Amino acid sequence: MARKLQGLQTIAFDLSPKIVGSATIAGPKEKKGNLAPYIDNLVPDPMLGEQTPEKAERKLLYQTCQEALARAKLTEHDMDFFLGGDLLNQIISSSFCARDLGIPFIGIYGACSSIVEGLGLGAMLVDGEYADQVLIATSSHYQASERQFRYPIELNIQHKGTSQWTVTGAGAAVLSTQGEGPRITCVTFGRVTDYGIKSPDIMGAAMAPAANDTLCRHFQDTNTSPGDYDLVLTGDLGNMGQKLFMDLAKEAGHTLGTKHMDVGATIYKPQQRAGAGGSGCACAALGILGYVIKEMYQGRYRRVLALATGALFSPLSYQQGDSIAGIAHAIVMENP
């Protein structure tokens, strides 16, 4: 059973669900990037032989779910629930994946923060003994996102230096109290924070205040500070958003220094011309289920605070003059 820290946003788990299996997949651009050694499956063709990027994304997601199940030595029949979400309208990647898996489906949407929303909710379901095992997964695809949120890539519209590059990939995790793996000991669900940013070309700036809000709330609720963690990971703030986040955190009294790493700012190399860095649901997923988990198994990190950030908008809300709000959800991952 969990302890909800009274009147606060953070929940600490007593049973501490474990990530007993996880898998990551990504495409050729990610293969040339910095996180390639941490990604389980690097596919040479981002279309996976499919006719459309949407169908390719679905395939990435399904394959990764099966791989995570295999690594947990379980099958879809052992799962009580599948929690999935993605960036595509009506989260079709996740819905179709849920159809093919046949597991009772809890659809979620947290934009690029979806993986942590899913891990946090999934951890509750397992900790609360509502489920023995749950599967959580998310995906994104550069081409599918570009044409949905911006322009079809065939138009060759020039990217801005501050825009981010949607990661093509997926990540999946199996949570259970049985078995071995990093434990999820805490979750902090974030509030929607709006700093009035209106351009989808500077989403890092739209998300940085949300990341800082959740960071501060988490430290306050748990009475911890950066010194209590080996790593504070953020999802996809990118180069610009990362700087803003560090500044905001410092203003709030939290100096992160070298303990901080942003997946979006790290995933691509400068010569890859990916603007301000990576983004998309797969970005945080590759960071958490690829980089963090592997480094935890290697013994480099014992306790990690992972914050995934999301920009909450649609092309239509942007066209109607609405600002782009941000959200960040956080989990604490610990080695036994």
Binding residues (CB under 8 A) for its own copies: these are 1-2, 4, 9, 11, 51-52, 54-55, 80-81, 85, 87-92, 95-96, 98-99, 102-111, 117, 121, 124-125, 127-132, 148, 189-194, 312-317, 320, 322, 325, 327
CB proximity list for 13: less than 8 A, separation 6 or greater: 2, 123, 124, 127, 183, 184, 185, 186, 187
SS3 191: coil
Query: Do the bridges between strand 278-279 and strand 325-334 make them parallel or antiparallel, or are there none, so unpaired?
Result: unpaired
- Give min distance, CB of 280 to its own copies, in A: 13
- Give min distance, CB of 176 to its own copies, in A: 13
Question: Which residue lies nearer to its own copies by CB, 31 or 191?
Answer: 191
- Give min distance, CB of 124 to its own copies, in A: 6
Residue located via tokens 């691509």 = 268
Is 167 in contact with 282 (CB distance < 8 Å)? yes
Structure tokens at 29: 């651009």
Question: Which residue lies nearer to its own copies by CB, 35 or 308?
Answer: 308
Question: Which residue lies nearer to its own copies by CB, 80 or 295?
Answer: 80
CB proximity list for 6: less than 8 A, separation 6 or greater: none
Structure tokens at 269: 């190399």
- Give min distance, CB of 217 to its own copies, in A: 9
SS3 229: coil
Question: Which residue lies nearer to its own copies by CB, 36 or 195?
Answer: 195
Q: Which helix (H) or strand (E) holds 308?
A: strand 303-312
- Give min distance, CB of 328 to its own copies, in A: 11
CA gap 257, 246 in Å, rounded: 8
- Give min distance, CB of 140 to its own copies, in A: 13
- Give min distance, CB of 18 to its own copies, in A: 18
- State residue 267 phi and psi, 5-degree precision: -60, -35
Question: Which residue lies nearer to its own copies by CB, 201 or 322?
Answer: 322
Question: Which residue lies nearer to its own copies by CB, 96 or 268?
Answer: 96
Question: Which residue lies nearer to its own copies by CB, 89 or 178?
Answer: 89
Q: Give helix 203-222 / helix 238-251 axis angle, nearest 10°.
A: 40
Q: What angle do CA 239, 38, 177 make, to 5 degrees?
A: 110
